[in-house]
Every structure is written in structure tokens, then in C-alpha cells.
């Protein structure tokens, strides 16, 4: 069993044993457990991740277990880098360089804002990618599951999440992207939102796009 714990977080010793037993039941070389099961007395799910090429579904007869299959192509993703950063693994996990683009980040925002406004204050599960990507581009650090939960729980409500995006995004984009790219990409996006401004989510995104473009115009 391999323990990845870069921040020396206190893990529950009983859970380590339980984790090892669960991983032994998974018929795959690369599998790991990440999340609150490892460090919280009260947890909702046991998140098991399996890196596999197989399309066959893996199931365990334990009600709280949630198994997520990760394709080898996903090893470059921010998601994999985050969930595997602090975890208990059956074997040494495969490492690949991170590949993440501003365009990926915008897709995450584009989907998270309507979801956030639909969910209102039951948003915690749906903003994980939004916060993960934003913190990565803001600080160059990949949050692990502990850090991500702490960051998400620090927001008092969904409005605070939206304020955070509004505040951080324009300078993040302008720090990473060339002005010509920003203009071309974001003017195009604005065009798609303009037709449906009767939705508050797209109104928010439309204004966000304009504040990004405003950042390069000075």
C-alpha cells in the first residue's frame, strides 16, 4: 500500500486498514482511495478511483463505495492530478505531465455558472472543478481533495463563489493569454450569450467576458 500525503495531514489509522482491504478487492493494478473517508470520522462516500483501459464495470458490495474509472488518457488532467495527490493507493500510481488550457478552464466556468445558479446553496459538489481550475491558474498549485474541500467550505453561499470568479478571472486570463487571443476568443463567446441574456447565468457570463476584454483594453 502506498500513502500519498504531501501535506502530512492526519489520516485515520482505522480507515487505512479498511482502505487497504477495499483496494485489495479491486481487480486492477492502479487503484486508489481519496477524499473524506481517509480523514473525517463522518463521511458520505468512499471514493475509489481505478485507472483502467477496461470498459467493464467494477462493483463492490459496499453501499458507500463510489467507483470512478479513469482512462489512461485522463492521466494528464487536472482532475487526476488533484484526486491522486493525497490518497491511499494499491501500487505506485502512473505519473503524466499536467495538460490544461485556458480554453478548458473557460468550458468549466461556462458550465459551472448556470449549474451554480440552478443549485443555489446546494452547490458544493458542483463547484469542485470551478475552484480547482481557478486556484490552479491563480496560484499554480493543484489542490488535493482535503484542500479543495476546505476552500469550498470557506464560501458562505453561492453568491460568494460568483464574487470570487468575478474578482479573480479577468486578471488570471489577462496574465496567461495574449491580448489578440483574448479578443478573438472572448468576443466570440460573448456573441453566443448575447442571444439569451434573459437567463441570469448567461448575463453573468456576458458581463464577465466584457470585464476580461476590458482588462486588455486598459
Number of residues that bind other proteins (CB under 8 A): 25
**CB 76, CB 98: distance < 8 Å:** yes
> Can you tell me which of 78, 108, 132, 172 binds other proteins, judged by CB under 8 A?
108
Distance CA 58, CA 68 (A): 9
Encoded one letter per residue, x for contact with other proteins by CB under 8 A and - for no contact, window 144-183 reads ----------------------------------------
Encoded one letter per residue, x for contact with other proteins by CB under 8 A and - for no contact, window 111-130 reads x-xxx-xx----------x-
Sheet containing strand 2-4, strands side by side: 2-4, 87-89, 30-34, 46-51, 65-70
Contact status: 79 vs other proteins (CB under 8 A): no
Contact status: 82 vs other proteins (CB under 8 A): no
Taking the least distance from each CB to other proteins, the nearer of 105 and 146 is: 105
Distance CA 200, CA 117 (A): 8
DSSP type of residue 213 = H
User: Hunting for cell 458544493 — which residue is that?
Assistant: 124
CB of residue 122 to other proteins, shortest distance in Å: 11
> Can you tell me which of 72, 171, 176, 199 binds other proteins, judged by CB under 8 A?
199
CB of residue 39 to other proteins, shortest distance in Å: 23
Longest dimension (CA), the chain: 58
Helices (H), 75-157: 78-83, 102-119, 128-139, 145-153
Distance CA 206, CA 210 (A): 6
CB of residue 177 to other proteins, shortest distance in Å: 15
**What residues make contact with other proteins under the rule CB under 8 A?**
63, 66, 104, 106-108, 110-111, 113-115, 117-118, 129, 188-189, 192-193, 195-196, 198-202
Amino acid at each position: 500500500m502506498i500513502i500519498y500525503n504531501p501535506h502530512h495531514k492526519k489520516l485515520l489509522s482505522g480507515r487505512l486498514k479498511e482502505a487497504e482491504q477495499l483496494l485489495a478487492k479491486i481487480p486492477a493494478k492502479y487503484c486508489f482511495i481519496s477524499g473524506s473517508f481517509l480523514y473525517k470520522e463522518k463521511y458520505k462516500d468512499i471514493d475509489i478511483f481505478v485507472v483502467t483501459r477496461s470498459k467493464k464495470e467494477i462493483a463492490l458490495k459496499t453501499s458507500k463505495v463510489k467507483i470512478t474509472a479513469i482512462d489512461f488518457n485522463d492521466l494528464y488532467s487536472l482532475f487526476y492530478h488533484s484526486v491522486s495527490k493525497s490518497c491511499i493507493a494499491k501500487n505506485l500510481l502512473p505519473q503524466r505531465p499536467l495538460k490544461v488550457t485556458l480554453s478548458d478552464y473557460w468550458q468549466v466556468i461556462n458550465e459551472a455558472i448556470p449549474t451554480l445558479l440552478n443549485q443555489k446553496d446546494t452547490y458544493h459538489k458542483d463547484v469542485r472543478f470551478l475552484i480547482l481550475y481557478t486556484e490552479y491558474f491563480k496560484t499554480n498549485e493543484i489542490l488535493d481533495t482535503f484542500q479543495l474541500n476546505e476552500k469550498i467550505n470557506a464560501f458562505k453561499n453561492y453568491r460568494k463563489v460568483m464574487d470570487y470568479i468575478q474578482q479573480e478571472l479577468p486578471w488570471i486570463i489577462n496574465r496567461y493569454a495574449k491580448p489578440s487571443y483574448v479578443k478573438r476568443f472572448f468576443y466570440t463567446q460573448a456573441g453566443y450569450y448575447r442571444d439569451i441574456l434573459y437567463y441570469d447565468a448567461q448575463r453573468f457570463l456576458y458581463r464577465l467576458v466584457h470585464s476580461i476584454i476590458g482588462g486588455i483594453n486598459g
